[in-house]
Structure 1
Amino acid sequence: MNWFRKNFRSCEEENAESGARASTSRGRGKGSNSLDHEIVQLTKLRSGPNEHLSKMVHGKHNVPISTVKMLAAREGNYSGRGRFSSADSCHVLSRYLPVNGPYMVDQMDSRAYVSQFSVDGSLLVAAYQGSHIRIYDVENGWKVRKDILAKSLRWTITDTCLSPDQRYLVYSSLSPIVHIVNVGSAVTQSLANVTEIHDGLDFSGEGGNDDNLFEIFSVKFSTDGRELVAASSVDSLYVYDLATNRLALKILAHEDDVNTVCFADESGHLIYSGSDDSFCKIWDRRCLNWKDKPAGTLIGHLEGITFIDSRGDGRYLISNGKDQTTKLWDIRKMSSNPSCVPRRNYNWDYRQMDYPAKLKDKKHPNDQSLATYKGHSVLQTLIRCYFSPAYSTGQKYIYTGSNDASVYIYDLVSGALVAKLGHHESTVRDCSWHPHYPMMISSSWDGSIIRCEFPGGDATPSPLPRRRSQRRHFF
């Protein structure tokens, strides 16, 4: 218990300091007050302690209760249950932000583009520009379980995704072909079509597109592992049926590159897409017609969208935008017939230029988002954002990579910046919060995969990667 008290106090102190540093950077697009929406109550139900517990301990409701007192109340069986509820557990675990480190997982001589934990957290997938995809055994000292050399790579690996059963991995590049490889085999060194077959899935269908202009930016498995959804540079999204090995659906979805796409929930009926045309769109496969009309459109970003993450409930999502914001959305606020045209600044290129200062405080006049989070920078590449894990945090945070070599963690409800992990030397394109533990992985253009956690598993942090020259090549 003494160890727990010592470490918990240090965690609370660190979080308080982070909150103080962020007091001028709350970034609320609609004022600095807390979010006033149904999602506040849903988040509280998932991540807040039992409302009667504070009365049992303090004699009154709604009084903050420390984790130490919660543990004592559990041991004394104040609640009569003899254990924590899932919300109580989330309340405790979510106080332990993954802020200690950094600890080096791996480093290569090419940029790291992707870093994602498997659904159960036992594996980590990292993809590098230099054709390598490595799968690490998280529970076995981060040993490389699979070292994949990608086939027919164009410029870089743009995305990877493990199947829900963790038997297969798909990877994409700036090409219409998505490759799939069996990662459950005993072979460690997976050289495409030499030591293992990397089957090619052709998303171009019957053709009609110039393969040199057809690029896949995002690819995701459905929850049941039977389908893939992909986003492309030819303004379209695709669904590929793995059982029949054919393209099942193509939608001309946007008026510019589709940078990101994902299934909204386990049903697979709803699909979210985000594009350089600045719109998020919702597609309901149960009522698509020949005109490929979306179920609705979400308006609010001033520039293109780099990534979308679903809360998993078919209702809420977040998006990263080149207008240097992350936005929270409720699809019930979507427009079925939007009359607004994209409000983009065509004189600005996020790949080579800083965001114009005169636009930083500009707001879309028809913004339908619930909240806006600012502080991080979305430049040079398709930087990703996510909800924090449901199991350990109740999804009470959102987090994102940033062009300033950091990972930002925001409180979903208050908008406060609760932590900034600035351990890299170049752009952080991707990051991943372990589904069960207070552990964060980030991948950077400095070539490193770094781990931060609480309280910290190594005796001393790993040395920071050496500074690399900032070339103006990008994706």
Structure 2
Amino acid sequence: MFVTASEFAIDEMGYAMSRLDIESDLFDGGNAINEAGSSNGFNRPLHKVDDEIVQLTNLRSGPPGRLMPGKQQLPVSPVRMLAGREGNYSGRGRFSSADRCHVLSRYLPVNGPWLVDQTTSRAYVSQFSADGSLFVAGFQGSNIRIYDVDGGWKVKKNIVAKSLRWTVTDTSLSPDQRYLVYTSMSPIVHIVNVGSATTESLANVTEIHEGLDFISPDYRGYSFGIFSVKFSTDGRELVAGSSDDSIYVYDLEANKLSLRIVAHTADVNTVTFADESGNLIYSGSDDNLCKVWDRRCFVAKDKPAGVLMGHLEGITFLDSRGDGRYFISNGKDQTIKLWDIRKMSSNTSCNLGFRSYEWDYRWMDYPPQARDLKHPCDQSVATYKGHSVLRTLIRCYFSPEYSTGQKYIYTGSHDSRVYIYDVVTGAQVAVLKHHTSPVRDCSWHPNYPMLVSSSWDGDIVKWEFPGDEEGPASTNKNRVRRQYYH
């Protein structure tokens, strides 16, 4: 269900719209129709980010030109935009990408949910392919499923890994959708041919799952595990973050490890390429720091281009805006932070002060006395609160550029929900409730208003606008619920 303050009906069709932009499409009198208020603070601006990210967001998700004569009011209704396009008031004779985002970003994927799959294993990882035709879900243990989205969500490939350590910790699909890599608490990353005709891919029985060795020649430590792995935009490299405090880059064309950086002083939980060039790498760690690495100008081995401070606890996930400048991070201090790498510093000399409490996120609730603490040297551009980051490495993302202009940030949560925030105001524009266990990962379709959430309760469900004709998924009250462990 979509959590609201009341059962207010938006319109006769029951379509769910963004809480920020709801207005009548049937009457164009200039008056917006808003949902009822909420004690949770929907519609209430929580902060003001710097002007540049506001301008960039507005350029991507707001109509740049005049659509109709007379006084311009924002947001512009779809009826008014269509009339303006037909009358060619903009002079373009068509919608621009910003016009498209202005319309689509108002219709959030909040209806449903509809059940995609239901298992007895916890879902750890889920992600749409770059074109949205495939969806990957990784489950606790050794099972990974790839669904054919355009083919009615049928299982295209059922991958069963062997000889894993603990579980599948991450997966990544190549940009051309030919290969999938998966990791575990091992320095060996496995790669699978997704395009093969074999549906049941049992490791080294029905298909070869080639192992890529991430141990560097100069490594003298104990065996390590990999928490995060990503393909580069051109599909030629992999970047990985590990439990030995390091970042690894693997050259797939040369079939060898090309770079190891001792990057942090604790587990590197998350790592990603900053943009399509592959030159910049972002990393986040349990040492509370985000770091930026520029492969073009290493001044010294293991020295970052810059450091970003602001989280009070470890970082669970990073997502890049794709412009080589902005990214977001999810933290165990129960916040998402937005960063501009131009604000990074060269050192971490800031003193955090004495922490008056002991806390372990794997089994304890976040201390109430810590919720209002602030980092004395916070370099973040904005902070988003409301969700909870406990028990596992919960992930957050920018909404798609094509359909929303990256106007939103969305995240899973330990409290079994999916939260959607407005980038500029920080307001919660939607909270999706269905699951009964932590939502570790979720993914927004790159082109359509569809979001899929995966949870430790074993459910994979999709949320849509306006939804399909099938009945929404109902929670099985008789299911045996498992205890939460990391």
Same fold flag (TM > 0.5): yes
2:282 pairs, out of 268, 272, 278, with: 272
Q: Extract unaligned runs of 5+ from structure 1.
A: none
Q: Secondary structure at the match of 1:160?
A: strand
Check 1:318–1:13 CA distance in 2 against 1; reply closer, same or farther (3 A cut): closer
1:253 pairs, out of 244, 263, 269, with: 263
* Separation of aligned partners in 2, 1:432 and 1:420: 14
Q: Which residue of 2 aligns with 1:427?
A: 438
Once the 2 structures are TM-superposed, how far is the Cα of residue 155 of structure 1 from its aligned partner? 1.7
Q: Which residue of 2 aligns with 1:227?
A: 237
* Separation of aligned partners in 1, 2:116 and 2:15: 28
- One-letter code aligned to 2:257: L
Check 1:27–1:82 CA distance in 2 against 1; reply closer, same or farther (3 A cut): closer
More helix by share: 1
Once the 2 structures are TM-superposed, how far is the Cα of residue 333 of structure 1 from its aligned partner? 0.1
- For residues 235-314 of structure 1, what are the structure 2 equivalents within 5 Å? 235-314=245-324
- One-letter code aligned to 1:36: D
Q: Pick which of 154-163 and 294-303 moved more.
A: 154-163
* Separation of aligned partners in 2, 1:12 and 1:308: 25
Once the 2 structures are TM-superposed, how far is the Cα of residue 27 of structure 1 from its aligned partner? 9.5
* Separation of aligned partners in 2, 1:26 and 1:367: 26
* Separation of aligned partners in 2, 1:13 and 1:332: 32
Check 1:284–1:344 CA distance in 2 against 1; reply closer, same or farther (3 A cut): farther
* Separation of aligned partners in 1, 2:306 and 2:480: 43
**Scaled by the length of structure 1, what TM-score is found?**
0.93
Check the 8 A contact 1:379/1:403 in 2, yes or no: yes
Q: Which residue of 1 aligns with 2:86?
A: 75
1:163 pairs, out of 164, 174, 177, with: 174
Q: Which residue of 2 aligns with 1:152?
A: 163
Check 1:456–1:145 CA distance in 2 against 1; reply closer, same or farther (3 A cut): same
Residue 119 (str. 1) matches residue 119 (str. 2): no
Check 1:341–1:240 CA distance in 2 against 1; reply closer, same or farther (3 A cut): farther
- One-letter code aligned to 1:351: R
Check 1:446–1:334 CA distance in 2 against 1; reply closer, same or farther (3 A cut): same
- For residues 51-450 of structure 1, what are the structure 2 equivalents within 5 Å? 51-53=65-67, 56-57=68-69, 59-206=70-217, 207-211=219-223, 214-341=224-351, 345=355, 347-450=358-461
* Separation of aligned partners in 2, 1:13 and 1:472: 33
Check 1:344–1:271 CA distance in 2 against 1; reply closer, same or farther (3 A cut): farther
Check the 8 A contact 1:235/1:255 in 2, yes or no: yes
Once the 2 structures are TM-superposed, how far is the Cα of residue 124 of structure 1 from its aligned partner? 0.1
Once the 2 structures are TM-superposed, how far is the Cα of residue 290 of structure 1 from its aligned partner? 4.0
Residue 48 (str. 1) matches residue 62 (str. 2): yes
Q: Which residue of 1 aligns with 2:51?
A: 37
- One-letter code aligned to 1:20: G
Check the 8 A contact 2:158/2:199 in 1, yes or no: yes
* Separation of aligned partners in 1, 2:101 and 2:325: 22
Give the fraction of aligned pairs with identical amino acids, expressed as a percent.
Answer: 68
* Separation of aligned partners in 2, 1:219 and 1:181: 14
Q: Which residue of 2 aligns with 1:461?
A: 472
Once the 2 structures are TM-superposed, how far is the Cα of residue 26 of structure 1 from its aligned partner? 7.9
Once the 2 structures are TM-superposed, how far is the Cα of residue 8 of structure 1 from its aligned partner? 8.4
* Separation of aligned partners in 2, 1:343 and 1:424: 38
* Separation of aligned partners in 1, 2:306 and 2:20: 42
- One-letter code aligned to 1:73: G
* Residues 392-420 of structure 1, C-alpha deviations (whole Å, 9 max, x = no match): 00000000000000100000001010000
**Scaled by the length of structure 2, what TM-score is found?**
0.91
Q: Secondary structure at the match of 1:283?
A: strand
* Residues 164-202 of structure 1, C-alpha deviations (whole Å, 9 max, x = no match): 110000000111111001111000000000111001111
**Considering only aligned residues, what root-mean-square deviation do their CA atoms show, in Å?**
2.1
* Separation of aligned partners in 2, 1:302 and 1:19: 35
Q: Which residue of 1 aligns with 2:37?
A: 20
Q: Pick which of 285-294 and 257-266 moved more.
A: 285-294
Structure 1 segments, 4+ long, off by >6 Å, are 25-28
Check the 8 A contact 1:22/1:416 in 2, yes or no: no
* Separation of aligned partners in 2, 1:238 and 1:123: 27
- One-letter code aligned to 2:222: D
* Separation of aligned partners in 2, 1:27 and 1:306: 27
